Amino acid sequence: MIRYFSRIYRVSKALLQGMGVTFCWLFKPAITVQYPDEKLTPAERFRGALTFDKETCTACLLCVKACPTACITLEPATDSVTKKRLAKVSWYQIDFGKCNYCRLCEEACPTKPIKSVRHTHDYEWGMKQRSDMFVKWRREQKKEETQLEKTA
Amino acid sequence: MIFPVLTQSQKRSIGVLAAMAGFGSGGVLLVGELNVRFSQIWNFAQEIALKNSIPSFIVSLVSMVIQCSLLIGFISVSVMFMVWWERKISAHMQSRLGPMFTGGWHGWAQTIADAIKLLLKEDIIPVTANPWVHRLAPVLVFVPCFLCYAALPFGKGLISADLDIGILYIFAISGLSVLGIVMAGWGSGNKYSLLGGLRAAAQSVSYEIPRVLSVVPILMFTGSLKLTQIAGAQTGFWSLYGIPVLPRWFIFYPVIGQLAFIIFLICSVAETNRTPFDIAEAESELVAGFHTEYSGMKFSFFFLAEYAYVFLSSGMMTALFLGGGSGPFFPSWVWFLLKSFAFVFLFLWFRWTFPRLRVDRLMEFTWKFLLPWSFFNILLTGFIQLI
């Protein structure tokens, strides 16, 4: 008899406790982020989309050698008169279909103070076609660069 | 619990809610008791009919049609509201947000959009199904539910048919929709549906008994089966040394009231096939139970019937245990709706707290626990009546 009633007491207490838990959670703010309206800021070392600064790059090819998936290709700029290699890039291409976002290219990059190839915090990007995955940066050759070479 | 710092959107929601409450209570006080308004409209209609020499049976026929459409309108609108409410409350209990986009403010129009979607969906009848049984089942589930609303007192004088056997009528008619569920289970030609239908039949029949018996003490106290009379018997206050302490609601009767209320509440949850007792449509065991093969409008009728039964049970609990529309300041229909929707919230709260019972334990619970206790409650009431 006592066991019967103590069991009823225990069960109903447990049920009420459970209801109390759900009632408390009802008033706690939701952890959902309303994505297109609200956005979380990524962590500091988050490896997002790669960006490339075509003006500071010295075309040293260290990133090409560092890349484990061989997704970076580049062509150094040449002096149009002397046909000599310049410390500038003519075009630089990353195949994001191959890139595994490992940051090795950024670590290998010698330019200072800002690396010319680096990860951003940008994660909102998608491509509709396979050909869109080849992202290419082209650098127009400036006139004074070739003239500088000529006088030197 | 630390009080959270309110964001801009939370402040806006609180503002919207406060404005709604303010305008709502103002409008409600302006309208007053609805039965007064309805009788004004009725008298006006009769005057017009007399002037234009329209026979009186046509007027009463039109009045019946209007009453039916009012009830249908109330059911569909309140069900839409309850579905949205269920989604929001379940979401917030699980630390989510629920629908947020449709309609602008916290996705209030989500259910309307869903209803339009369900109307436009393809109506599928499986090859193995018995087409007529399959077609008739949702009707047979919904119609008894709608019939029950006729005897539900929505406040002072707001009842379509004030039957002398109102409570018996509701129990009897609502028992009919088990037939619809069994038909849906059998007529779908699907073994999951059949299992769901059989389970639902066993469960409903079992829980109907303690549900009816738990009401018997109230009937013994009031000596009437009329719902308006039962609700009317609970007006006023219990006073201690001349100071009113508790309203004279049946739920505050010591021991008997609470026992009857708890048994009735548990059985109502089981009758409406909601989550602690939803073995009839247990998703993890039976796909969707008896409505596995239903789509579009037929499915939405099952949905409508389920939520309409939830409100019916809440309304019955309000009338039987919380004194119907009795309350200060606001008109009676507002009090009835407030109390009923508080019970609806209780139903939702149960659903998102408790896990599902096993089939054998479900049966054991009603036959070995609820039924003896409801008999004991009747016995106790009898002793008190004798003294």
Task: Note whether A26 contacts B93, CB cutoff 8 Å.
Answer: yes
Instruction: Please state the rounded mean pLDDT for residues B59-66.
Output: 84
Please indicate if any CB of chain B lies within 8 Å of the CB of A1: no
Structure-block tokens of residue B301? 């009728």
The Cβ of residue A39 has, within 10 Å, a number of other Cβ atoms equal to: 11
- Report d(CA B147, CA B305) in Å as an integer: 11
Instruction: Please state the rounded mean pLDDT for residues B303-319.
Output: 89
Higher-pLDDT residue of B378 and B289 is: B378
By CB atoms closer than 10 A (0-12, 13-18, 19+), residue B377 is buried
CB under 8 Å to B151, separation ≥6 — which residues? B159, B160, B161, B162, B163, B166, B169, B170, B227
- Report d(CA B319, CA B382) in Å as an integer: 22
Task: Note whether A15 contacts B354, CB cutoff 8 Å.
Answer: yes
pLDDT at B4: 60
Residue among B174, B182, B215, B153 nearest B339 (CA): B153
Please indicate if any CB of chain B lies within 8 Å of the CB of A4: no
Chain B positions in Cβ-Cβ contact with residue A24 (cut-off 8 Å): 1
pLDDT at B33: 74
Query: What is the pLDDT of chain A when averaged over all its residues?
Result: 85
Task: Note whether B93 contacts A18, CB cutoff 8 Å.
Answer: no
The 8-class DSSP code of residue A27 comes to T
Which one of B92, B350, B354 has the shortest CB-CB distance to A26? B92
- Give A21-45 pLDDT, tens digit per residue: 888 888 888 888 888 888 888 888 8
Range in A93-97, A113-117, B60-64 the model is least confident about: B60-64
pLDDT above 70 covers a percentage of chain B that reads: 98
- Report d(CA B106, CA B255) in Å as an integer: 42
Min Cα–Cα distance to chain A from B95, Å: 4
- Report d(CA B242, CA B255) in Å as an integer: 23
Burial annotation B7-24 (CB, 10 A radius, 16+ → b, else e) = eeeeeeeeeeeeeeeeee
- Report d(CA A28, CA A115) in Å as an integer: 44
- Report d(CA B210, CA A8) in Å as an integer: 18
**Above 60 in pLDDT, residue A148?**
no
Domain map (residue ranges) of chain B: 74-94+106-386
Instruction: Pick the residue of B8, B9, B93 with the most A CBs within 10 A to test the interface with A by mutation.
Output: B93
- Helix (H, G, I), strand (E, B), or coil: what is residue A80? coil
Task: Note whether B353 contacts A18, CB cutoff 8 Å.
Answer: yes
SS3 content of chain A, % helix, strand, coil (to 5): 30, 20, 50
Residue among B314, B304, B305 nearest B346 (CA): B314
CA angle B51, B53, B54 (to 5 degrees): 115
Q: How many CA atoms lie within 13 A of B112 on its CB side?
A: 8
- Report d(CA B21, CA B341) in Å as an integer: 15
- Give B160-180 pLDDT, tens digit per residue: 778 888 888 988 888 888 888
- Give B98-157 pLDDT, tens digit per residue: 888 887 777 888 888 888 888 888 888 888 888 888 888 888 888 898 888 888 888 777
- Helix (H, G, I), strand (E, B), or coil: what is residue A91? strand
Q: Hey, which residues 71-130 in chain B have their CB within 8 Å of chain A?
A: 89, 91-97, 100
pLDDT at B60: 81
- Residue A3: C-alpha distances to residues A6, A7, A8, B102 (Å): 5, 6, 9, 53
Task: Note whether B94 contacts A27, CB cutoff 8 Å.
Answer: no
- Give B245-302 pLDDT, tens digit per residue: 777 788 887 888 888 899 999 998 888 888 788 877 777 777 777 888 888 888 888 8
pLDDT band at A6 (very low <50, low <70, confident <90, very high): very high
Chain A positions in Cβ-Cβ contact with residue B4 (cut-off 8 Å): 28-29
Instruction: Pick the residue of A26, A27, A31 with the most B CBs within 10 A to test the interface with B by mutation.
Output: A26
Chain B positions in Cβ-Cβ contact with residue A19 (cut-off 8 Å): 349-350, 353
Size of chain B, expressed as the number of residues it contains? 387
Task: Note whether A18 contacts B1, CB cutoff 8 Å.
Answer: no
CB under 8 Å to B193, separation ≥6 — which residues? B184, B185, B186, B289, B290, B291, B292, B293
pLDDT band at B53 (very low <50, low <70, confident <90, very high): confident
Please indicate if any CB of chain A lies within 8 Å of the CB of B349: yes
Please indicate if any CB of chain B lies within 8 Å of the CB of A27: yes
- What ipTM was reported for this prediction? 0.73
Residue among B192, B338, B152 nearest B279 (CA): B192
CB under 8 Å to B198, separation ≥6 — which residues? B182, B185
Q: Closest chain B residue to A12 measured between Cα atoms? A: B262
With beta carbons less than 8 A apart as the criterion, state whether B34 and B155 touch: yes
Query: What is the pLDDT of chain B when averaged over all its residues?
Result: 84
pLDDT at B288: 76
End-to-end CA distance of chain B: 49
